[in-house]
Amino acid sequence: MKANNSDTKQLIEVASIHDDLVLLKNGSLRMLIEVGALNFELKSTDEQTAIIKGFQDFLNSIDFPLQIVIHSRRLSIKKYLTDLGEMVEKLDNELLKIQGQEYIKFVSGLTDLGNIMSKKFYIVVPYYALGIGDVKKGIFSSFKGLFGGTAKTSNSVISDSDLTNHRSKIMQRVDVILDGLSGMGIRGEILGSTALNDLFY
């Protein structure tokens, strides 16, 4: 397991994580916003029109690059079924116990038929401080530098005072995005250190 973790860290261009900030190996910074989903097709015509208008306003309010990422991960329900099985075995009512066992078999069968995937949506907000990172990189090159690929290592050490200053700058961008999402009725949440470590490692 340790070897696998080491291999993974070699592929990811993350130098370190500071609370809600991701410092890349080229010295640039990223902040990630997890975005909630909505079912556009189930909305009324007026609601759909309002969402489209809100998205247009959102795009027009942005004067910096960003990345929209869809992250898919196979969902494991093994622990859920194990815990449920233990609860079912403790039932005194035989009818409920049988129903519980049948339910577990049904759900287990569904997972055997196909992979159950969970999808999460993120907005990646970049920030290139003067003198660090490669400000000439395009948005897709920056995306590669965040989640994988080969990037040249630059100055990936930033003092606490500089980190605080850079965070205030990137938060200005994040606030613009959160306001735009709110206008469309979509919830956005900044990822903290625990969530970032789970995502990358």
Give the pLDDT score at 134.
Answer: 45
Q: Containing H/E element for 120?
A: strand 117-127
Clarify whether residues 92 and 173 are in a common domain: no
Clarify whether residues 67 and 82 are in a common domain: no
- Determine, yes or no, domain membership for 120: no
Give the pLDDT score at 135.
Answer: 43
Give the pLDDT score at 124.
Answer: 92
Q: pLDDT category, 184, cuts 50, 70, 90?
A: confident
Q: Which domain holds residue 83?
A: 78-113
Q: Which of 188, 176, 185, 177 is nearest to 51 (CA)?
A: 185
The pTM for the full model equals: 0.66
- Determine, yes or no, domain membership for 174: yes
**Long-range contacts, stretch 51-60, CB < 8 angstroms, 24+ apart:** 51/184, 51/185, 54/180, 54/183, 54/184, 54/185, 55/184, 57/180, 57/183, 58/177, 58/180, 58/181, 58/183, 58/184
Give the pLDDT score at 125.
Answer: 92
DSSP type of residue 22: E
Domain count, the chain: 2
Q: Contact at 8 Å (CB) between 201 and 55?
A: no
Percentage of the chain exceeding pLDDT 70: 78
Clarify whether residues 159 and 105 are in a common domain: no
Q: pLDDT category, 130, cuts 50, 70, 90?
A: low
Clarify whether residues 66 and 137 are in a common domain: yes
Phi, psi of 65 (to 5 degrees): -75, 150
Clarify whether residues 99 and 7 are in a common domain: no
Q: What is the pLDDT of residues 135-167, one digit of tens each?
A: 444 444 544 545 544 445 455 667 778 888 888
- Determine, yes or no, domain membership for 119: no
**Residue at which a domain ends, from 113, 136, 163:** 113
Distance, CA of 192 to CA of 201 (rounded, Å) = 14
